[in-house]
Amino acid sequence: MRILLVGAGGVGSAIAKIAARRSFYEAIVVADYDLARAERAVGWIAERHGAEVAARFHSTRIDASDPDAVAAVARAHRATHVMNAVEPRFVQAIFAGALAAGADYLDMAMSLSEPHPTDPYAETGVKLGDDQFEQAADWEAAGRLALVGMGVEPGLSDVFARYAADHLFSSIDELGTRDGANLVVRDDAGREVFAPSFSIWTTLEECLNPPVIWRKESGWTTTEPFSEPEVFDFPGGIGPVECVHVEHEEVLLMPRYLDAQKVTFKYGLGADFIGVLRTLRDLGLASTVPLTVRSAAGPVQVAPRDVVAAALPDPATLGPRMTGTTCAGLFVTGIGKDGNPRRVYLYHLADNAVTMREDDSQCVVWQTALNPVIALELLATGVWSGVGVQGPEAFDAEPFLELMARSTAQGGYGQPWGLEER
């Protein structure tokens, strides 16, 4: 396996760092529009793991917005797999470039949605991933696999869903992804500051778009952002967090493969965070439509969302200022295998102090990066295989969760996952 890793930001760098401890691949090419950033990721591996490990890593420049450029880099490095680790606005270009190069493809966020033109808070328009699934026949004809939504959420949450359907439940009422944390970021003076732990571009996209809900009797419908708040009690010392509906890929993936009466995604954002997002929306600063801005050098075209992103700290740099734990998981209700009602929460915790110590990566990006590395290893060893455009639910969950939880001394990743009866 030869992997072209597109993107050397927080998640991309964490993927490289986690993979540096594994031996299932021949080479990883770390590619970024900013070559220096890709070189820093490879340099960190050389410094931490030595020249022998770093010899399997290479760095190069890439324009992720150009399918031809992606294909050219993939061909030049004989990539068998293209791992997309950049913002979802680049999905379609990288997706097309991988297919053109004859490589398999993985991502952690799917092609973007477009709200319904007249009734966005009741009906779906273009849904997340629609563009990719519409091209499934092309991938099948080429004998290639595109594994989409293989991060943590989506990704691990979808693996949990498949596991619950196969091993825990005879029928499922709701598959409800619930994400929460007690993370705090502080400035040099020790004051808590607003600093999203993930790309603000992606955060604004998923939190301000109409959230999607799946119901078996009506299919996919939408609702208002931040609607139906509920307090969910998270494990790992996090405790109760108010969670609200936001747009997310799980709701578009799980019903394609699994039988459930309802599928939802709720995110524990907190009142302050929601307030900032609403203010950005109301001021027009969440828009991706460029505005003309007067400057000393003359008028320039600038997208307001890019200005917001430029004003905030890079999420990859937040680790030293961050404390706390993040939890990703799936709350499942229904009838258990024994015929009795059952409610379980399947989850994984990531402590920022631990991920910083082990991989110099803050916990949110590290937790996202862990799962595609495990998936790549299962593909490399033939445990997982397939063609076409597929979500994580298309594959047996048990080997993924076993490899994830197995100790590093026994060849696993040493990341136990939890199951709580509720």
> Which of 338, 336, 327 lies closest to 422, judged by CA?
336
pLDDT for residue 405: 98
| Low-confidence stretches of the chain (pLDDT beneath 50) | none
Cis amide leading into 240 (omega within 30): no
For residue 344, how far is the Cα from the chain centroid? 23
pLDDT for residue 173: 98
pLDDT for residue 334: 98
Strands (E) located in 97-211: 104-106, 145-147, 169-181, 184-185
Architecture of domain 156-363: 2-Layer Sandwich (3.30)
> Which of 316, 385, 415, 404 lies closest to 81, judged by CA?
385
Q: What is the pTM of this model?
A: 0.94
Does the domain made of 2-151+365-415 have the CATH classification 3.40.50.720?
A: yes
**Domain ranges for the chain:** 2-151+365-415, 156-363
- In tens, the pLDDT along 50-71 reads 999 999 999 999 999 999 999 9
Which bin fits 110, alpha (ψ -120 to 50), beta or left (φ > 0)? beta
- In tens, the pLDDT along 334-358 reads 999 999 999 999 999 999 999 999 9
- In tens, the pLDDT along 63-116 reads 999 999 999 999 999 999 999 999 999 999 999 999 999 999 999 999 999 999
CA distances from 1 to 24, 73, 104, 105, 257 (A): 7, 16, 10, 12, 28
